[in-house]
Chains A and B, each alone.
Chain A
Amino acid sequence: MSDITLAAFAAETGGHVVEEPRELRFKRFERGFDAAGFLRSLEERDFRFVGRSSPAFPRLLLELHDPPPGLFLRGAAPPELLTRPAVAIVGARACSSYGAQVARLLGRELAAVGLVVVSGLARGVDGEAHRGALEAGGLTVAVLGCGVDRDYPAGHAQLARRICERGLVVSEFAPGVEPAPWRFPARNRIIAGLAAATVIVEARERSGALITADFALEAGREVFAVPGEITSALSAGTNGLLRLGAVPLTSSADVLEQLGLEAPQAKTPSLGPEASAILTVLAKQPAGADELSRATGLGAAAIATALAELELAGVVAEADGLFRGVMPQQ
């Protein structure tokens, strides 16, 4: 039995197949299946396939009790990318600006030290984590719940293309398979399976990100949760994880420490007096430009100048007119 036959059979029947089925239908399919032709047609579309019996198949993924027959790959990176140390960053699609900014920061910082950032290309936290990794010039892998030929969600088609330039978009489902709600938990198990540690940034009480956390725990991987406000519904899931014993994530150094990696010396950007004053105010809570102006006594022009400086240094981010410090407070 070959891995590719199983994967193709799964696509043909629309089912989720990880072991060779005993049914007659599979035998019939196997007899009529042209594996070489199938691989050729993949190649023509610039897709690749890594079977689980191949040496290039990620070891960590094999450790799952139900590893997929193989992974379809799209993108410029070699399949060995999947065997490099990776961290998954997942969370709510409808995230808050806090969640988005934390996801981007983590993506950026973890990718900057050479870790592969794995996520699910979804809106919200997933997308921001990918973007953060790209911003740092790092490597990132997007795992889809449909064929790799589909850009899902459609709004992230361009993001997927940018990921493919240096990283990979992967799926256990053959090209042509449509996204369906029941395929997402299967996708989440691959995200958790590829990564040595999983970070949940924001999750509601019943969130797909919690499924990813369950898979990670099942596979014996570390699970980090970003603490949130106890009054926010968007943090109910992550705070629940913390109560159950997940490791609270207070900065990217927590992840690096767990993986036995050296955290790079945090270089404090040299800031002017105005910028430092603003940062002090923002350490308490996000604020609009006018509030900052009142709190620091600076004029509107000076505030705008300092805010641009801070944004360029990557320590402040704006959302809906509110500025927020995005460096973790030590």
Chain B
Amino acid sequence: MLARTVTHALVGLDARRVDVEAHLQGGIVSAFALVGLADRACSEAKHRVRSGIASAELQWPGGRVTVNLAPAELRKEGSGFDLPIALAILAASRQVPPERVVEHAAVGELGLNGRLRPVGGVLAAAEGARTSGLTKLLCAAECAAEASLAGIEPIAVRHLAEAVAYLRGERDPPPVESANGHGPERPCPDLADVRGQERARRALELAAAGGHNLLLAGPPGIGKTMLAQRLPGILPRLPPDEALEVTRIHSVAGLLPPGRPLVTVPPFRAPHHTASVSAIVGGGPGPKPGEASLAHRGVLFLDELAEFPRNALEALRQPLEDGAIAVARVAGRIVFPARFQLVATMNLCPCGARGDPAAECTCSAARLAAYRDKLSRALLDRFDLLVTVPRPRARELGGEPGEASAAVHARVSAARDRAEGPKLRRAPEADELLSKAVDRLALSARGRARVARVARTAALLAAAEEVRTEHVAEALSFRSPSELGSR
């Protein structure tokens, strides 16, 4: 006896349709074979499915059971195949009506007690189901809201027995709360917590308004990290199409919070400097998105930039340029989107005392040079804004709490709206200042473009009609400090 269910396997961020076929052959010898290029987690499904069916007080068919995951040449990973395998076996043994089963896509991991567990990539699976022409997806209750984002009807089930009851038409599935983004947001840390640091705050505002990459340099303990963490809070919320893009990536990585799956706040990712290259740009045998892709449409924060291995930093140059990462494998090439805003911090020297009037730097010239050599010109050139923050004096720290994120957020959003309008022209005097700076400060062509970009953002923030001298001058004050060794 033969039956079939439909599920989806992940290839990068895309779902490919997989037909799960179960074939039963009567006989005395009881056997269970799973074929179709399943990986370790997937082939262990055999044991989970067998226990799950028993726990749901259903019948394990006697004789030889063969399950095929087609197409057979596609590598299948993960535990999301448990539910479709179980349903295919139950349909083949006519414990559920096979014609009902093929109307549904299914995805989910089974516990030994038959409980359904959530898995990653449900959004992609739901989108895949929609393209396959199916309208219903059987999945764990925790994933139902996520599946509904794809415009498909999720059938939320908590237990295999529940799924069977639903398919037999004995009961209706529980209703699913829609995840249209109206749930409570996870609060972002507020800028009001940062006292003083007006210059760094201003740089942060410019970075947010123009989507510029930002490098904060300065001695340790002055609040560089604290500032960077507050960037997502002042960035505009993601528009629906981008939110869905980000949600899809986070879904594949299994990072979505249950209950409120749609990511509307720009993500903030802060990999540690011991992270491997593939952890940062993505990779693995069945490639998974790395931190750079998880930061898509959000902020990638690299604390202690110079401590990152050089090859990891160089690997970031591709996404900084193209907004995407291509991972090549023998089986094909997978492209992960990675259009992120890079924010990094660094000390001014390995011992950290530089820039701190109260401490004496003990680094030798050679050590200092080696530290700064780690950052190639090419990488430093990607930062539109470079701020060197000296250690604040005590009385600055005793000051008033800073401006709250909400106010900055409003200005940033207004500037972004204005950026949609006609492109601002530079006033003749502003042009003159820029040319003078190119000669006097030996700016490269890229450096000049960088200053022009930041000047435009400053003008947008000020709601100016054109880019004026003061905007160019301000942009110039955030150019690469020669102290970073990039003369």
Interface, chain A (partner B; CB < 8 A): 93-94, 97, 123, 155, 288-291, 293-294, 299-309, 311-312, 314, 318-322
Which residues of chain A are near B202, meaning CB under 8 Å? Answer: 300-301, 304
A288 to B355, CA, bound (A): 10
Known contacts A312-B473, A321-B348, A321-B390, then 17 further A-B pairs from the complex at CB < 8 Å, ordered by chain A residue: A288-B390, A288-B392, A290-B196, A290-B197, A300-B198, A300-B199, A301-B470, A303-B198, A303-B199, A304-B473, A305-B470, A305-B473, A309-B473, A320-B355, A321-B355, A321-B387, A322-B355
Count of chain B residues near A, Cβ 8 A: 38
Q: Are A123 and B473 in contact (CB under 8 A)?
A: no
Distance in angstroms between the alpha carbons of A94 and B366 in the assembled complex: 11
Given A155-B369, A320-B355, A312 and B198 contact (CB-CB distance below 8 Å): no
Residues of B within 8 A of A305 (CB): 470-471, 473-474, 477
Asked if A290 meets B198 with Cβ closer than 8 Å, knowing A312-B440, A321-B218, the reply is yes
**Docked pose: A290 CA to B440 CA in angstroms:** 25
Are B355 and A304 touching (Cβ within 8 A)? no
Residues in A whose Cβ lies below 8 Å from that of B198 = 289-290, 293, 299-300, 303
10 smallest beta-carbon distances between A and B, as pairs: A321-B388, A300-B202, A321-B390, A320-B355, A289-B199, A308-B473, A308-B476, A300-B198, A288-B390, A308-B477
A93–B365 touching, CB < 8 Å? yes
**In whole angstroms, how far apart are the Cα atoms of A155 and B372 in the complex?**
12
Q: Is B426 an interface residue (CB 8 A)?
A: no
Whether B440 pairs with A318 at a CB distance below 8 angstroms is no
Q: Which residue of B lies closest to A153 (CB)?
A: B365
Nearest CB on B from A46, distance (A): 26
Nearest residue (CB) in A for B354 is A320
Q: Are B477 and A123 in contact (CB under 8 A)?
A: no
Tell me, rounded to whole Å, the shortest Cβ–Cβ distance linking A105 to chain B. Answer: 14
Please judge, given known A-B contacts A94-B365, A312-B476, whether A300 and B201 are in contact too, CB under 8 Å. Answer: yes
- Interchain CA distance A245-B474 in the complex, whole Å: 46
Given the known A-B contacts A320-B483, A321-B355, A321-B389, are A288 and B474 also in contact in the complex, defined by CB atoms under 8 Å? Answer: no
Minimum CB–CB distance for B297 against chain A, Å: 27
Q: Which of B396, B458, B483 contacts A301 (CB 8 A)?
A: B458
B357 contact set on A, CB distance < 8 A: 322
Q: A293-B198, A318-B483, A320-B355 are in contact. Are A304 and B396 (CB under 8 A)?
A: no
A306–B470 Cα distance when bound, in Å, is 8
Q: Mark B433-444, 1 if CB is under 8 A from A, else 0.
A: 100110011000
Write 23 A-B pairs (CB below 8 A) sorted by A numbering. Answer: A288-B390, A291-B393, A291-B396, A293-B198, A294-B396, A299-B198, A301-B202, A304-B199, A304-B474, A304-B477, A304-B478, A305-B470, A305-B477, A308-B475, A308-B477, A311-B477, A312-B437, A312-B473, A318-B388, A320-B348, A320-B388, A321-B217, A321-B389
Minimum CB–CB distance for A212 against chain B, Å: 20
User: What's the least CB distance linking B369 to chain A, in Å?
Assistant: 6
User: CA separation between A309 and B483, bound complex, in Å?
Assistant: 19
Kindly list chain B residues whose C-beta atoms are within 8 Å of the C-beta of A294.
396
Find out whether the CB atom of A322 lies under 8 angstroms from the CB atom of B365: no
For B386-417 the 0/1 string (1 means CB < 8 A from A) is: 01111011001000000000000000000000
Q: Are A290 and B470 in contact (CB under 8 A)?
A: no
**Closest partner residue, chain B, to A318 (CB atom):** B481
Contacts of B392 in A (CB 8 A): 288, 290
Residues of B within 8 A of A321 (CB): 217-218, 348, 355, 387-390, 481
Tell me the smallest distance from the CB of A51 to a CB of chain B, in Å: 36
Is the beta-carbon distance between B390 and A322 smaller than 8 angstroms?
yes
Question: B218 contacts which chain A residues (CB < 8 A)?
Answer: 321
Which residues of chain B have C-beta atoms less than 8 A from A291's C-beta? 393, 396
Closest beta carbon of chain B to A300's beta carbon, Å: 4
Q: How far is the CA of A321 from the CA of B198 in the complex (A)?
A: 13
Q: Is the CB of A293 within 8 A of B199?
A: yes
Q: Measured between C-beta atoms, what is the minimum distance from A174 to chain B in Å?
A: 28
Q: How far is the CA of A63 from the CA of B194 in the complex (A)?
A: 64
Chain A residue at minimum C-beta to C-beta distance from B357: A322
- In whole angstroms, what is the CA distance A301 to B202 when docked? 7
Q: How far is the CA of A309 from the CA of B437 in the complex (A)?
A: 10
Q: Note all chain A residues with C-beta closer than 8 A to B483.
A: 97, 318-320
Residues of chain A within 8 A of B470, CB atoms compared:
301-302, 305
Q: Kindly state the separation between the CA atoms of A93 and B369 in the bound complex, as whole angstroms.
A: 13
Name the residue in B355, B470, B481 with the highest tally of chain A Cβ atoms < 10 Å from its Cβ.
B470
Quick one: which of B199, B433, B440, B471 has the most chain A CB within 10 A? B199
Contacts of A306 in B (CB 8 A): 473
Using CB atoms, name the residue of chain B closest to A314. B440
B369, B387, B392, B477 — most chain A CB neighbours (10 Å): B477
Task: Mark out the residues of chain B between 436 and 487 whose CB falls within 8 Å of any chain A CB in the assembled complex.
Answer: 436-437, 440-441, 458, 462, 470-471, 473-478, 481, 483
Establish whether residues B365 and A123, one from each chain, have CB atoms under 8 Å apart when the complex forms: yes
Q: How far is the CB of A157 from chain B (nearest CB, A)?
A: 13
Contact partners of B475 in chain A: CB under 8 A: 308
Chain A residues closer than 8 Å to B393, beta-carbon distance: 291
Bound-state Cα–Cα, A299 to B461, Å: 14
Interface centre among A291, A304, A307, A312 (most CB of B within 10 A): A304
Which residues from A are CB-within-8-Å of B476? 308, 311-312
Cβ–Cβ < 8 Å partners of A97 in chain B: 483
Determine the residue in chain B with the shortest Cβ distance to A290: B198
Chain A residues within an 8 Å CB radius of B199: 288-290, 293, 300, 303-304
- How far apart are A81's CB and chain B's nearest CB, in angstroms? 24
Residue of A nearest to B369 (CB): A155
Nearest A residue to B196, CB-CB: A290
Q: Which of B342-388 contact A (CB under 8 A)?
A: 348, 354-355, 357, 365, 369, 387-388
B427: shortest Cβ distance to chain A, in Å? 14
In whole angstroms, what is the CA distance A322 to B476 when docked? Answer: 16
Residues of B within 8 A of A319 (CB): 481, 483
**In the bound complex, do residue B474 and residue A320 qualify as a contact, i.e. CB atoms below 8 Å apart?**
no
Please name all residues of chain B whose beta carbon is closer than 8 Å to the beta carbon of A288 when the two chains form the complex: 199, 389-390, 392
